[in-house]
């Protein structure tokens, strides 16, 4: 089994009309065994920027701590929050620093940049950025997520429709992957508010 599949994960972010949504599954496993069903994969960097980390959980936790540290330092020095594009470059740089001994993580970054324009991005484990206009996926259920999102995505969805679409795409995909699932977490972010929901899916 690959090291990326040790803990199991599913992450997806999708763009809507002046909003974005980012969703993950809730399983923390150790190969075939499920340890917890309330694992948080997505964390808030600031009100308009979220990052999800899929892959090996220990590296996701370490990377998360390093990124929070770097962002807090940036906030102290610049007296403002980081823009999503800048943060994506920071993530990419941190990952490439470990080029020959990498973090086994695949981050998904989603934020609202200038003019409330939604920004989503994913990188591979050594920091190669992939910017997309519609959706980005990561984790063991990644292949299924590509299919589900491609089928269900429409451009310029309002927050409510985006929430429905992303939830259905996530739940459908994790049901085909034994290493991810046990419900979902979804954040729908608009310029005015952040809505956080827990999804009930197949608990197996």
Partner 1 sequence: MECVFGLVGNDYAIVVADTSAVHSILVHKSNEDKIMVLDSHKLVAASGEPGDRVQFTEYIQKNVALYQFRNGIPLTTAAAANFTRGELATALRKNPYQVNVLMAGYDKEIGPSLYYIDYIATLHKVDRGAFGYGSYFCLAMMDRHYHSGMTVEEAIDLVDKSILEIRSRLVVAPPNFVIKIVDKDGAREYAWRESVKPDAA
Which residues contact partner 1 (rule: CB under 8 A)? 7, 28, 30, 33, 35-36, 39, 56-58, 61-62, 101
User: Residue 76 CB, nearest distance to partner 1 (Å)?
Assistant: 22
User: Is the Cβ of residue 152 or residue 178 nearer to partner 1 in the bound state?
Assistant: 178
> What is the closest distance, in whole angstroms, from the C-beta atom of residue 43 to partner 1 in the complex?
14
CB of 72 to partner 1, least distance (A): 17
When the beta carbons of 114 and 204 are compared against partner 1, the nearer one is: 204
Strands 105-113, 117-123: pairing is antiparallel
Nearer to partner 1, 32 or 76 (CB): 32
Give the shortest CB-64-to-partner 1 separation in angstroms: 11
User: 173, 10 in Cβ contact below 8 A?
Assistant: yes
């Amino acid at each position: 089994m690959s090291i990326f599949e040790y803990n199991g994960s599913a992450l997806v972010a999708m763009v809507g009309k002046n909003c974005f949504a980012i969703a993950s599954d809730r399983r923390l496993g150790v190969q075939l065994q499920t340890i917890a069903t309330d694992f948080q994969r997505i964390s808030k960097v600031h009100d308009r920027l979220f990052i999800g980390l899929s892959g090996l959980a220990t590296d996701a936790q370490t990377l998360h701590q390093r990124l929070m540290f770097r962002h807090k330092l940036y906030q102290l020095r610049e007296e403002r929050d980081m823009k999503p594009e800048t943060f994506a470059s920071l993530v990419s740089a941190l990952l490439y620093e470990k080029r020959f001994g990498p973090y086994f993580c695949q981050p998904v970054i989603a934020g609202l940049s200038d003019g409330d324009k939604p920004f989503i991005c994913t990188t591979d484990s050594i920091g190669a950025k992939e910017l997309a206009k519609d959706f980005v996926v990561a984790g063991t259920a990644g292949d299924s997520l590509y299919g589900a999102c491609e089928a269900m995505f429409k451009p310029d969805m309002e927050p409510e429709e985006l929430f429905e679409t992303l939830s259905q795409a996530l739940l459908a995909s994790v049901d085909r992957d034994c290493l991810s699932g046990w419900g979902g977490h979804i954040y729908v972010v608009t310029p005015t508010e952040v809505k956080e929901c827990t999804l009930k899916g197949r608990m197996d």
